[in-house]
Amino acid sequence: MAIIGKIREKSWLLVGLIGLALFAFILTDYQSWFGQPKQIGYGSIDGEAIDPKLYELASKNYQQADEQEFRAQQREYTVRDQAMSENKAWNAIVDSILLQKEFNALGISVSDREFDAYLYGHEGFSVIPSIAENFKDPATGLYSEKLLRKRVDELKSSTNADEQRAWEQTKTSLTLQRLQEKYFQLLGQGVYVTKLEAKDTYVAQKRIKNISFAIKRFSEIPDADIKITDAELKKFYEENKGDVKYRVKSNSRDIKYFAVNIAPSKEDSTTFFNDMNKLKGELAKQSTAKADSIFVVRNSEWPYYIPKAGYRSENTPKANPTFTYPALMDSVFSTAEVGSVVGPYLDKGKYRLAKVIAIDNNIYSVRHILLRAQKTDTVGSQAKLKMADSLIAQINKDNFETFVAQYSEDPGSQQDGGKIENFIYNEMVPEFSEFAKNNPVGKIGRVQSDFGVHIIEVLEKKSGRVPSLVIVEKTLKPSSTTLDDINLLANDLVSDAVEAVEKKSTLKDKNDAFDTLAYRKGYTPLSLTIDEKNIQVYGMKTSMAEDRLIALAFGEKNEAGQVNLTPLKDEDRYIIAMLSMKREKGEPSFEAAEVAMRRELMNDKKANILKSKMTGKSVEEIASKNNIQVQKADITFANPSIMGGGYDPEIVGSLFSKGIKDGTTTLPLKGRNAVYVVRVDKTISEPATTSYETEIQSMLGQAKSSIQNDAINSLREKSNIVDNRRFLKVGVRY
């Protein structure tokens, strides 16, 4: 669904959350957002710059909303997530501006009477679901128009600025929502399917041709066997550069690059493991819990001493990821004795030393209901204890989960039916663990802890081996000497690349020189394309590296074949990069089309060679002469694929032409990746019918379901939308 559709769906719920002051601007005269500044700023639509305050407001509000959602889901809101929020804001502004232009041009508006009917669900309007959900009569649980009117009247008459703003934003949001509905409904009224269109679709889907064919693929001929001269390629370019398939749809740039990893040297590794083994010996000598704790704080990158935590294999279901060891170390920890130190071993990119300070051989699983009460609150505790006794009289193993859902105040276990599984004694409060330890499976009772009153059922008691560990964690990093050496190497590679490229005169030779240097130095050259209309830089680890590549790609004075004069730092590597191609919208330059045209010309030559071999009176004779099998397939016009061949619309289309009768064998036909000789064995006509209602309804449904998306895309395509945000950030355009 288009972005505007998402805005429409959630608009009521977004009130006060996304800051719909943005949409208040949108409902005013949209010309007021634009100016004719000398600088483009964040971007423009049809040459008119978007008000930066509008974008900054939208961006701020989307970021706040998304960050709040991430926090609720206990997810980290990263720099890349922030960029996604900014993109949402940008797209919302663009789509809303484009639609508002449409509203104005078509004279679509919402009167006060229509707004009231829409808000309250009168005159044929249904009550908006989010409104109905928020205004229910407590007594009946049903939507109450009376409560809604009361709240609206309070907001309208309020002298509180926040409440006044809340009402204006709500009214603005619902008005925009209704405008969008009217616009898309208007478009929907223009969608129809003729009987002739339905019939064509019916025939394309139902008419089947049984074919036999021989096929020889272009891949059978090595590329090295095909010679293409510069003159041939230039001629092919001149003859085909106007073909729509070679047309450049938008300005873009190609970047070639290779990466120099920033990694520890052999000397760094030797020093690191010598130090780790020294720490291992010292850790083993610590004789008290206090000494272990001090040692961890002084020596570990993760300086936390948690003596009660039991560590399990990372493959253990529901294991706490903070307290796990690699599955490959399972056999080691299953035999390690108390006091021994295991390691160093690699775990999630860090090297660890693990001292075994205890081993628990008993593992418990229970389910519980928590009734929260402070022990210091005597009255409250007594009330919860009495409540627990009352519930225990009613609870059994069959209805326990029902009581959990109704009474438990432990959100951490409530969703699992109150279950707390596979814990050892030290991982729970003593009262809880004592109950699990001292009672048989099936026993239901209560205990009181600092958290409140627990009603507990013992589910399982089993033997196992769960070690409690003291962890010292270190990262193997390059030394300062190694970092200096790698930095010097990266700068030398840049110099070598500049020298190699500048010796060449043609762009093709410059690209080849860059690739050759990379391979010769032991690196793999990669490439990426950056589209001006949709700035995305794939393959980089940091936004800083992305920004530097954008500046290289679109810098006004930068030419194709230019190497970036410094290595780009990208987290744990340096990027050596070159602007390898500049593509401008419209008819392609020779350099821009060269690769695609060389491939097409090569395929033409391969096709001619294969055609010369595929001669004979029948498909069987041709197959025999070429030592291949005759293949059979059923094809329809609606699905232009040939089983055993591939996706070949041109071939399938030609077989359904009027000149191809049953029994006809074609001349060799060039497909996308092969040459075919095909015989139409039999045509199975579509079942006779006079009604195409099924096709009409299906086509109509598909067309109407895509109206919003198609409309937004069409408005974007016919408008000159310039997204200058990334260019502005890197200083390429202002």
> pLDDT tens digit string along 434-443?
999 999 999 9
In percent, how much of the chain has pLDDT > 90?
A: 75
pLDDT in tens, 197-232: 999 999 999 999 999 999 999 999 999 999 999 999
Stretch 541-547: mean pLDDT:
93
What is the rounded CA–CA span in Å between residue 516 and residue 508? 12
* pLDDT on residue 286: 95
> Which two three-digit tokens encode residue 69?
């959602």
* pLDDT on residue 461: 93
Strands 631-635 and 208-217 come out as: antiparallel
* pLDDT on residue 139: 81
Amino acid at 313: S
**Chain-centroid distance, C-alpha 716:** 23
> Which two three-digit tokens encode residue 389?
């006794």
Stretch 386-397: mean pLDDT:
92
The region of weakest confidence among 197-201, 294-298, 320-324 is 320-324
What is the rounded CA–CA span in Å between residue 281 and residue 34? 71
The region of weakest confidence among 34-38, 341-345, 690-694 is 34-38
Stretch 561-587: mean pLDDT:
96
What is the rounded CA–CA span in Å between residue 57 and residue 18? 10
What is the rounded CA–CA span in Å between residue 120 and residue 141? 17
Q: With a cut of 60, say whether residue 33 has pLDDT above it.
A: no
* pLDDT on residue 38: 53
Q: Which helix (H) or strand (E) holds 521?
A: none
The region of weakest confidence among 191-195, 407-411, 491-495, 680-684 is 407-411
In which band, very low, low, confident or very high, does the pLDDT at 2 lie, cut at 50, 70 and 90? very low
Biggest distance spanned by C-alpha atoms of the chain = 102
pLDDT in tens, 441-472: 999 999 999 899 999 999 999 998 999 999 99
Sign, CA torsion 5/11/12/14: positive
Please name the residue ranges forming H helices in 555-688: 590-613, 619-625, 649-655
> Which two three-digit tokens encode residue 306?
């948690």
517 vs 177 pLDDT, higher one: 517
* pLDDT on residue 1: 26
In which band, very low, low, confident or very high, does the pLDDT at 19 lie, cut at 50, 70 and 90? very low
Q: Which residues pair with 365 in a beta bridge?
A: 460
Stretch 645-652: mean pLDDT:
94
* pLDDT on residue 31: 47
Half-sphere exposure of 488 (CA within 13 A, CB side): 6
> Which two three-digit tokens encode residue 640?
């232009």
What is the rounded CA–CA span in Å between residue 120 and residue 126? 8
* pLDDT on residue 669: 96
Three-class DSSP labels, 174-219: HHHHHHHHHHHHHHHHCCCCCHHHHHHHHHHHHCEEEEEEEEEEHH
What is the rounded CA–CA span in Å between residue 587 and residue 572? 40
In which band, very low, low, confident or very high, does the pLDDT at 162 lie, cut at 50, 70 and 90? confident
Three-state DSSP state, 624: helix
Q: What is the mean pLDDT of the chain?
A: 90
On the 0-12 / 13-18 / 19+ scale of CB atoms within 10 A, 163 is: middle
pLDDT in tens, 465-521: 999 999 999 999 999 999 999 999 999 999 999 999 999 999 999 999 999 999 999
What is the rounded CA–CA span in Å between residue 727 and residue 39? 12
> Which two three-digit tokens encode residue 686?
């579509």
DSSP 434-474: HHHHHS-TT-EEEEEETTEEEEEEEEEEEEEEEEEEEEEEE
* pLDDT on residue 12: 35
DSSP classification of residue 599? H
Strands 350-372 and 452-474 come out as: antiparallel
Stretch 180-203: mean pLDDT:
93
In percent, how much of the chain has pLDDT > 70?
A: 95
Residue at token pair 């949001």: 173
> Which two three-digit tokens encode residue 100?
């508002």
